A and B are shown apart, each in its own frame.
Chain A
């Protein structure tokens, strides 16, 4: 198994810069996701690594060896495409055996290995079926088996689940992760679905407009976003713009109120910051009409409910703007629209992002 490294990878299409000097190192056996909106360059990067595009400049290394100029059919990587990649004129088994056939492995061996892999993805029964006889999810499993059959050094997946139903997606992504862990193959997974990326990856690379916004574990990406983009893209986030208060006591001044944030102590007085709080981190209590909010809390009025299952997301109008707050559904039942509430949070929780050059 190999480690994968990209150095100063740059790709330009005429005037448009699709990738802007990307640097990344993936450990052997690691599962890394490229996460970002369409057009961010994640697929371009993947295709360059696979060998279907040539970079304008930069290098791709596998196991320390520079493979930038190695043709795509000799890179020893397995790729799973988004859809329609199974050869329609071959059965599932022959599809899986294709890579081995190219490598002139004996027919016996081919069939044995194909059966093995189809077993691993749970499709031993579909061996002799043609792609058009398989469901979308089944096709992608076969595609995975096919990519793994050649024992590649790196496994590349280009939004493999985007074209599938939601339920199948969840099932399949867990299976992919399971198989990957078992085989220990270095894996690069491209997706625009942040839930997907966060749930299966060892590390996530968030990309926007050809640049890496942040690299980190799912917990880091979710809980400690380092840029406005990451904060906005990953999960729901309350964003409040303000200035660090000059009293040194960890407060942020906004148009509507002064808010508590321990992190503000590490910032320069008056620095413009964006304060980020997750909906689930805010506590919400009913507030009597004439009462003032308790120390450190701000008042607000419930504007709408969004039922999310065990949790209900309330939109609360407050002096600092509309806040999203997640409360247990049982509690939410007693908080009808128009109810007056108080919002508070642990001052250690909010994250601050520099707004001065945004």
Chain B
């Protein structure tokens, strides 16, 4: 991006960018190198059409099947689809002071900037802004309903062919090749598009990778953008808390076939926790790597152009650096930050997603056919994504377990209203009370059958530099460990200590408002996503067996609960 810029005129253009799963270069500090591995059978291009009914293929390899869609019925439970109403996401952490809020605003603006070649875009890239990929249900989220990668393919005169796995209504995707032509492991991101033909890239004549051949030879896998909400709080959970959590219910895990381990950073031996395989140690690293890999913009962390063709070099490198003169941002401090610092600041200062308010409310009865009754009524899980304990920051009013983000909560009845409108098999939602009961019951069933063994609900942050963010209780529903997810989800890409079969437990906060699920966005249907957890070699097989033994109403309750998050 621009070297020492006086202005950031290209910013604030309103749209897009991406930090998908991320690659990190093996030689870089803190990065977890990516390579494909023969230890796993890569699901490769089959993921494009996957979405299995794993319960019907116990002896098979998993994977396969048909892609689901929001509002469809699968396995007897119906995903009502994306929860409507207020996004309840995209804003700043509650409790920040004015300086921090101003900094957040400046960072968010830069996060939405759209870049062209003079700003550093390319020579190879996947999109031209961060927020283009991270925009559902709000800036900082995941893949939007309309894929901006289709339009960018031919923007500014470019002549790119849109690969077959990129569709207008499909997920934003990055592509990784599993193997090199000589058969050795690859695993790195291959940019979908080139700047060839663009009016701002005269003389550049490089070609896109041959994705058609990669698809035909089953040599390409995909990743979709991970949501960024609340990551500053995740960043501030101490390793000791994660380790204690993993050990706390180890006995229960072992009765379920679950083990898991952390992706330990090779440089400082602490837990890496960001990205689909927890391959990125820090938000700054996450931002720097994505800026280079997804947008082609070299920066302070990743200084070198990945594409070396001399005819396609239009800028001095690194293209984005710390400005020595103030940019035109409202925040004075933000004006002297590099783009990747601002991207990481945006992630650090963004509030967790807000669950539907009804999920927190006690209800009169639980929807169940199993004889379990009002025991669920006092369940209090699924409350706000961010609460705070006794604040240690002097500038923050002390508050004991007070809810910080409930004000933006959507009504849980919208979950069931959507379900009722799209379902022929799901339980009817006659009232918001019933809806609340189903969601509450779903929370209990989710815990009881073992989902929470990995999708750990609650953590508490340690002392924070940010105002009001110390000792904050969060509910990410992830243990941030990596687990073997079996042949059906395996992508054959090894990153850090996560092998080709392993993925980080996907945080479930905000899942109610996401469109695409699993690392490659293979389905829009939560029930399909659940079933995809089971395949040959997966640690989740026993839990999915438990799920499949549940009565239909309880499976529906779990779906409703998830859509309330």
A and B associate? no
Chain B residues close to A by CB (< 8 Å): none
Chain A residues close to B by CB (< 8 Å): none
